[in-house]
Amino acid sequence: MKLLFLCPRWGSESYSASEFIRRVKEAGYDGVEVGLSDGDSVADEVASLAKSQGLELVTQHWMTADRDMEKHLELFEKRLRHAAGFEPLFINSHTGRNLFSLEQNKRVFAVSESVSASIGIPIYHETHRGRCCHTPWRTAELLRAMPTLKLVLDMSHWCNVCESLLQDQDDIIEPLLPAVSHIHARVGWEHGPQVSDPRAPEWANALNAHFKWWDKIIAARRAEGVSQFTITPEFGPPPYLPTLPYTCQPVASQWDINVHMMNLLRARYAVS
């Protein structure tokens, strides 16, 4: 199984499209994951340029959060179709809302399934705070109702929401792993979605907790004979990345952390 590592554009918005792509290629990434938003022409340029430069592309929908259901559905479909226009490997969607009922979220998912069928591009749904998959048990409920859903697994959100490293939730989480089609490799902890620096020894327990799940997913996809699998090291910029008081200087380099995670996971999952 070939592993493809994608660089998040999130946190690199200050770079031009060409400079960002140059840095991505120099760092050794296989592609990019680009969050798109209304009126962000540079993000559109990054997505187009990545394809022309031979990089793999994943587009990300994250904007739709309207509480009015009809407006939510309308904007959701519009933004998914825009994300599909760049012909990505798949679309990573921040889908629904945690305050929507199961039936309401099912209406949102129905839109994504309809769009995916019409455009021929998979749409995966991220386990994200504030969204429909904000906890393991809600995600399990959704998968029971819609068993064909595919997930982007970001365990950091679940650690934060559940205020734990999920030590006692194996029975809930393990049945969800077959649905995982993409990983966001960020390390969260009991009180936040991102540790300050995963290279620091004080975060070893949190890092190892995430390794436990990632290891199982990679092993399972290999056993299934999947030809390739994608991972985005997705440590974010401030305020996800903690800062010093008064100066607001970040305590570490977001770019360096993500490159470190890519190289760490490449070595960990190398086929000997």
Average pLDDT taken over every residue of the chain: 97
Q: What is the pLDDT of residues 6-36, one digit of tens each?
A: 999 999 999 999 999 999 999 999 999 999 9
Residue 45, domain CATH: 3.20.20.150
Q: In Å, what is the CA distance from 249 to each residue of 41, 165, 192, 197, 243?
A: 28, 28, 19, 14, 5
> Which run of H or E residues covers position 171?
helix 170-173
Q: In Å, what is the CA distance from 19 to each residue of 22, 24, 94, 135?
A: 5, 9, 27, 37
Q: How many domains does the chain have?
A: 1
Task: Say how far residue 70 (Cα) sits from the centre of its chain.
Answer: 26
Q: What is the pLDDT of residues 151-178, one digit of tens each?
A: 999 999 999 999 999 999 999 999 999 9
High-pLDDT (> 70) share of the chain, %: 99
Percent of residues in the chain assigned helix, strand, coil, to nearest 5:
45, 15, 40
**pLDDT value of position 30:** 98
Q: Quick check: 46 pLDDT over 60?
A: yes
Q: At 83, is the pLDDT very low, low, confident or very high (cuts 50, 70, 90)?
A: very high
Q: Quick check: 272 pLDDT over 50?
A: no
High-pLDDT (> 90) share of the chain, %: 99
Sign (positive or negative) of CA dihedral 148, 5, 183, 41: negative
Structural domain harbouring 104: 2-268
Q: What is the mean pLDDT of residues 68-82?
A: 98
Q: Quick check: 211 pLDDT over 50?
A: yes
Q: What is the mean pLDDT of residues 175-189?
A: 98
Q: What is the pLDDT of residues 106-145, one digit of tens each?
A: 999 999 999 999 999 999 999 999 999 999 999 999 999 9
